[in-house]
Structure 1
């Protein structure tokens, strides 16, 4: 039973005197998801402009982006434009990876501990970058000494532990669903695995949402914004978007 896509080697790359580099299903499936996201983004922005008519495909993408922006605004209480590339990319990558698990032969790369750890490290790096750009390096470093300098080791451990928790939570939920479906498939050939596959899709979407929300909560706490604070007035929407939503 294949638990993790890391255990399946798709092909090897010759490196001359250094030997060979095994390319696992995790790497291949990750690039497949990335290629799909790039292609969809490119197709959605072809011929972009303020004038109608606008395709339904682009409307769907805009609605998804607006949904992510609203969630970021509600959590951070600020302009979501700065955080949308990071939080939105994490959400879309995890969501698509989990949803594509229904494709025969495709194993979600989020079911690999290495991928989950890499995503958590992205959040770990993004948090201080946003905090320093917003508050300054001195103010950010001073936060580790609050409310007393004795809290420095605990605050550092907190940064590391929440990164580990992000990775383990994502990996554990996706991997456990894969194992459960495989066990049921060996016991009951059709009905229960189908039900579990549907529940797995729902779980995958929820995990993508939770990961993105936690990432934004960590960023918001680091930059000093209170979650749920009153957001600034929303910018006026383009005329073509108002016409479509009426």
Structure 2
């Protein structure tokens, strides 16, 4: 294991971003398992906070996709929570946000890309789903395809660029000003990390809702 806590096994190298990502996933699963073992009608303070958080997420999703909000909530809620933790974990000394790695943000963007089509096909069937790419005229098919690819690329690069710049800025300020001056910068780091998680999740939600609702608009008689 080297300085960035990567692991090399023969010719296979598991980089720090992957290790951190799996660590976040395991911690997330463990926390979810522990907090759902003893749910009560009269909630504890922790249960109250968790329920309030999920209430906010649910309301945000239902606002964008009222008819299919509960269908896509598990995916969007998990994505939001993961991004918040991943963006903020770089504040822990010795750790780096996995979202500062372009390969991680590309994987997340690809996951959103595949989920959009999966939910669209699941809702309307693959024939009716693919048909909307031919509307209002088949001539626009190449432009629809380019739009799908470019917005996926933009998702990956936007998150990567913002988190990378945040960590670099924090590191440079620490080197120049020491550990006292960066406190306001630390607060800005937290705010920006939360904003970037929200933007990524909201864009994913809009893409999913658009894929589902476009089918209903294309076939109002059904």
Q: Same fold (TM over 0.5)?
A: yes
CA deviations on 1:47-103 (whole Å, 9 max, x unpaired) are 33xx53332212211111111110000011224221111101110001011122211
Cα distance in 2 between the residues matched to 1:172 and 1:192: 24
Alignment counterpart, residue 75 of structure 1, candidates 64, 67, 72:
64
2:87 — aligned with what?
98
Number of corresponding residues: 213
Correspondences of 1:15-164 after superposition (within 5 Å): 19-48=10-39, 52-164=41-153
CA deviations on 1:119-176 (whole Å, 9 max, x unpaired) are 1111001001111111221111111111111111110010011100110111011001
Cα distance in 1 between the residues matched to 2:42 and 2:27: 25
For the 8 Å contact 2:64–2:205, the answer to whether it is kept is yes
Tell me the TM-score normalized by structure 1: 0.82
Cα distance in 1 between the residues matched to 2:204 and 2:184: 30
1:183 — aligned with what?
172
For the 8 Å contact 2:132–2:214, the answer to whether it is kept is no
Cα distance in 1 between the residues matched to 2:61 and 2:42: 29
Larger RCO (CA under 8 A, 6+ residues apart): 1
Cα distance in 2 between the residues matched to 1:79 and 1:219: 10
Displacement of 1:20: 2.6
Report whether the alignment pairs 1:11 with 2:7. yes
Report whether the alignment pairs 1:223 with 2:182. no
| Structure 2: unaligned runs, 5 residues or longer | 216-222
For the 8 Å contact 2:17–2:101, the answer to whether it is kept is yes
Cα distance in 2 between the residues matched to 1:194 and 1:32: 27
Question: Which 4+ stretches in 1 moved above 6 angstroms?
Answer: none
CA deviations on 1:172-196 (whole Å, 9 max, x unpaired) are 1100111111222222113443322
Tell me the TM-score normalized by structure 2: 0.90
RMSD of aligned residue pairs (Cα, Å) = 1.7
For the 8 Å contact 1:113–1:167, the answer to whether it is kept is yes
**Which stretch shows the higher mean deviation, 78-87 or 174-183?**
78-87
